[in-house]
Structure 1
Amino acid sequence: MLFNSFSFILLFLPITALGYFTLARRSQTMAAAWLASASLFFYGWWSVEYIPLLLASIGFNYMVGRRIGHGLGTAKTRWLALAVAANLLLLAYFKYADFFISGVNAVGGTHWPLWHVVLPIGISFYTFTQIAFLVDTYQGKVQEYRFLHYLLFITYFPHLIAGPVLHHAEMMPQFERRDSYRLSAANVAIGLSIFAIGLAKKVLIADNLSPHANFFFNQSDPQGLLVAWGGVLAYAFQLYFDFSGYSDMAIGISRIFGIRLPLNFDSPYKSVNIIDFWRRWHMTLSRFLRDYLYIPLGGGRRGPVRRYLNLMLTMLLGGLWHGAGWNFAVWGLLHGGYLMVNHAWAALAARWRLPTASLPWRLASMALTFAAVCYAWVFFRATDFSRAVTIVGALCGHGGVALPESLAAPLHALRPLMDRLGVSFYVGGGTRFVQTWSWVLVAAAICFLLPNTQQIMRRYEPALDHHPAAGGYPAWPALPLAWLPNRRWALVVSVLMLACLLALGRPAEFLYFQF
């Protein structure tokens, strides 16, 4: 069941909310049990056969978590090591078994058959969430062990399939609060507004970019410079609006139930460097990798060389978390390299007292960061490594420049200059070229010029206010657009919802479901 489907919007969500608030009048326990049951039903809609696996994982981690919480000395450490190893082995089996066998066959010349293991949806997210719970318990941060609340914490349907990755401490207190079980007109209005914004990102923007990105990446023929950049940018904005839209929808749905999920996106394409980007993109995953991988490895406490090695290993594992393939490994290594360069450059900029706070510098930094991120997206999206290398060559102009006839005519005078630069120029692209770039420009204008969801909702949703670690937005004013509980915004949200419902047709899955 997709958030962007009639069955979810018109049936599942209203029935679940009605049952939840009706039962909450009698008992918070009954309401929590109803919500946990509805969440299991939501998961079972995807794959009933994997509900036992999900429940077994929950039962195992809850039991071990209690052991860790009430244990002493080395016993706690042994239980933590056992549980983390068990979670990672389970994830490795489902996600990396065939990748490992293929690698062994390639290196050793063997012919072991692949197991063709089917990846249970959401296993990466609920595994990471439970590892965070175990570590937090070991560190003494977990105080509440009610099984029903733990079951709801893991299965809570707004985040179960594609995150955000949650911390036990930020959810459990909310399941105990009385206000979370009271129907609130403010919560419903704010939640539906955030949901509508997220749905519009997915249905009206990401899904319209999808055909152009897929058309480009599924081709095997070499492409020209502008065609290549059009296809890569189409995917970059498709992925952004798809996952950002999902995160908004999850936050909005949860707010209807009086539960606040953490922010997961904060205008990452407006980042002025890669460090800033990873503070804004998939923020809960970045937090998990920092807190449970980078810092335990030593972080930056053991000198610059060790810091760079830790960064590379963290990003490599972060890349492989997204998928079992060499493309994802290269994507992770690229970002690890970017972070190393960024840290080294920041030290030099501080020593040389460069004007990094000026607007021209920030705009140039943003453009360079965005280009580097798009370059890495090629390896993230390409169907195989050789195709990724071909696309990278096209981005650098190795395939020449192709333009439709209507756009090529004014540039014929520049042909001698382009020939001197070694860039071939030819007519090609046609209607697909114009459509792709039209959608790219629309998406870019929305992404870079309009306020994001948390800026729009900042007056009535403090939890979505600007993330303090993100380093600030570029120094130009966003368009004045702030949500208010009035008729004008009621009309805007209604029109958005109507446009999305009319455009649904055949709902498309969210891209991060595959991870």
Structure 2
Amino acid sequence: MLFNSSGFLFLYLPFVLAGYALLARVRPRWATGWLALVSLFFYGYWNVRYLPLLMASILFNYWVAGRMLAAVAARRRRWLVFALAANLALLGYYKYANFFIGSVNALTGAHLQAWEVLLPIGISFFTFTQIAFLVDCYRGLAGEYRLVHYTLFVSYFPHLIAGPVLHHKEMMPQFERPPGLNAADMAVGLSIFVVGLAKKVLLADPLSTLAGPVFAVDAHPQLVEAWIGALAYAFQLYFDFSGYSDMAIGLSRLFGVKLPLNFNSPYQAANIAEFWRRWHMTLSRFLRDYLYVPLGGNRHGRYRNLMLTMLLGGLWHGAGWSFVVWGGLHGVYLVMHHGWGALAGQGPPRCWGRMLTFFAVLAAWVVFRAPDLSTAGDILHAMVGGNGVALPHGLEAYASYFPVGCSFEGIRWIDFSGVAMPALLLAMVLAFAAPNTQQIFRHYAPCIEQLLGTPSCLLWSWCPHSYWGLAFSMLFLACVFSMNRVSEFLYFQF
């Protein structure tokens, strides 16, 4: 079940809200259990075979956390090592077993048979969430919680599939508050959800038609095609993931629960360190607090720790050498950034820094998206003119204005006649120059009296801008009518 599907929008979500509202009134203690139950159903809807896996993971980690909190300090470490080994073994089996077998075959010429392993949806997110909880139990930073609250913390359906990576100290106090629906939270939540839905349906999905053919094996794009395809994927991923993050935050806000921000205009970053403080913010926080700092952080071996953290962060995204190289590239970027800062004392001017950062990130996205390193190298080679230059039909009369060697045989992989190219231009303007979702909603407060007044203001009206209700309603309808093909979120595979 996808957030951008009719079944979710018109069946699952209304049913969940109705049940939550009813229980909050008549049996408040059951409302949290209701959210946990429907979250488990949401996960099981994908593949019911993996629901026992999620439940076993929750029960196991909850049990270990209890033993750890009750144990003396000397024994806590043993419990932590045991639990970490079990969690990483589970993740390694499902996500990396065939990657390991394939690598051994490639290096040794062996012919080991790959295992028939289907990757459970969201396993990286619920594993990392629980690892952070266990480490905090070991450090004495987490207390005991009721099983129903812990189950909801891990399986909470807005975040379960593609994040954000939750932290117990942010979520548990909210789950323990008295349940209930609030008109202001409903207004804010629905508005943010519609913005995220529009990012996914109206921007990210059309861009896939530009990126897909260019990144196909043996496509051998030329200069213009390679640049358009690379830019299309960069902004497809941006608005796909940003859209999911907004939708998750908006859905959670319907229940009065605030998820942590996960996106903060990363393409407006002035350097690569700032980019990682803005992109997938909760994963960056996890890698910093539970990997980079334990490795030594800035105290000793700073550059080594940066490289190891980013290599493992790349491997977290997927079981493939492309992801490892992508993580290594960002590790090199960060080492160069901090090394330059240590030598020069400051970076380039912000405008130049933004351009340099974006093009560095763009080059790394090519490696990230390509099906293999050979294809990635071919596209990067094409982006510097190595595969020649092809221009659209109809420009032959202006041949004298173009460099020698340009071909006018036409562009093979890019369709200029559809909505994808206008969507790409709009996406670039929004990502580089427009305020992001949290900046927009920071300036508006919902008017409760107006929300409870006329029916026309019931969902998305904002004081004093009464046209917001109409604007968001029209945006939602545009999304619904554009959902002719339901597409998965890109981060589902990570």
**Would the TM-score normalized by the shorter structure come out above 0.5?**
yes
- Are 2:445 and 1:439 aligned? no
- 1: CA distance, partners of 2:53 / 2:413: 48
User: 2:366 aligned to 375, 378, 381, which one?
Assistant: 378
State the AA in 2 paired with 1:97.
A
* Residue equivalent to 2:302: 307
- 1: CA distance, partners of 2:93 / 2:132: 20
Pairing of 1:252-271 with structure 2 (within 5 A)? 252-271=250-269
How far 1:401 sits from its partner (Å)?
1.7
* Residue equivalent to 2:400: 413
- 2: CA distance, partners of 1:409 / 1:132: 63
- 1: CA distance, partners of 2:99 / 2:196: 34
User: 2:466 aligned to 471, 474, 487, which one?
Assistant: 487
User: 2:191 aligned to 177, 193, 202, which one?
Assistant: 193
* Residue equivalent to 2:411: 429
How far 1:220 sits from its partner (Å)?
1.4
- 2: CA distance, partners of 1:88 / 1:297: 18
How far 1:28 sits from its partner (Å)?
2.9
How far 1:363 sits from its partner (Å)?
1.5
How far 1:460 sits from its partner (Å)?
5.0
| 1:177-208 alpha-carbon deviations (Å, 9 max, x no partner) | 12xx1221100000000000000000000011
Pairing of 1:86-165 with structure 2 (within 5 A)? 86-165=86-165
| 1:233-281 alpha-carbon deviations (Å, 9 max, x no partner) | 0000000000100000000000000000000000001111110000000
* Residue equivalent to 1:331: 326
Q: What's the TM-score once normalised by structure 2's chain length?
A: 0.93
How far 1:66 sits from its partner (Å)?
1.0
How far 1:368 sits from its partner (Å)?
1.0
Question: Structure 1: where are the runs of 5+ without partners?
Answer: 463-481
* Residue equivalent to 1:25: 25
Question: Structure 2: where are the runs of 5+ without partners?
Answer: 447-460
- Are 2:476 and 1:497 aligned? yes
- 1: CA distance, partners of 2:397 / 2:27: 73
Report percent identity of matched pairs: 59
How far 1:407 sits from its partner (Å)?
4.5
* Residue equivalent to 1:475: none
Does the residue aligned with 1:509 lie in a helix, a strand or coil? coil
8 Å Cα contact 1:270/1:366 also seen in 2: yes
- CA distance 1:10–1:485, shift in 2 (3 Å): farther
* Residue equivalent to 2:247: 249
8 Å Cα contact 1:404/1:433 also seen in 2: no
- 1: CA distance, partners of 2:303 / 2:464: 48
Question: 97-106 vs 482-491, which deviates more?
Answer: 482-491
How far 1:449 sits from its partner (Å)?
2.2
User: 1:366 aligned to 346, 354, 357, which one?
Assistant: 354
What CA RMSD, in Å, does the superposition of the two structures yield over aligned residues?
A: 1.8
- 2: CA distance, partners of 1:259 / 1:239: 26
- Are 2:93 and 1:85 aligned? no
User: 1:448 aligned to 429, 432, 450, which one?
Assistant: 432
8 Å Cα contact 1:405/1:430 also seen in 2: no
How far 1:349 sits from its partner (Å)?
3.2
8 Å Cα contact 2:445/2:463 also seen in 1: no
8 Å Cα contact 1:399/1:424 also seen in 2: no
Dislocated runs of 4+, deviation >6 Å: none
* Residue equivalent to 2:452: none
8 Å Cα contact 1:269/1:277 also seen in 2: yes
| 1:380-430 alpha-carbon deviations (Å, 9 max, x no partner) | 1111111111001001111122111334643x2344xx34xxx65544217
* Residue equivalent to 2:47: 47
- CA distance 1:104–1:219, shift in 2 (3 Å): closer
* Residue equivalent to 2:454: none
| 1:40-75 alpha-carbon deviations (Å, 9 max, x no partner) | 111111010001000000000000011111211220
How far 1:432 sits from its partner (Å)?
2.7
| 1:438-497 alpha-carbon deviations (Å, 9 max, x no partner) | 4321210121222110111113589xxxxxxxxxxxxxxxxxxx9657421111110110
8 Å Cα contact 2:249/2:259 also seen in 1: yes
* Residue equivalent to 2:337: 342
- 2: CA distance, partners of 1:400 / 1:434: 20
How far 1:431 sits from its partner (Å)?
8.7
| 1:66-87 alpha-carbon deviations (Å, 9 max, x no partner) | 1111211220011011101110
- Are 2:275 and 1:277 aligned? yes
8 Å Cα contact 1:198/1:247 also seen in 2: yes
| Count of residue pairs brought into register by the alignment | 478
- 2: CA distance, partners of 1:483 / 1:445: 25
How far 1:140 sits from its partner (Å)?
1.5
- 1: CA distance, partners of 2:355 / 2:397: 29
Question: 441-450 vs 326-335, which deviates more?
Answer: 441-450
- CA distance 1:461–1:210, shift in 2 (3 Å): farther
How far 1:378 sits from its partner (Å)?
0.8
* Residue equivalent to 1:66: 66
Pairing of 1:457-472 with structure 2 (within 5 A)? 457-459=441-443
State the AA in 1 paired with 2:430.
I
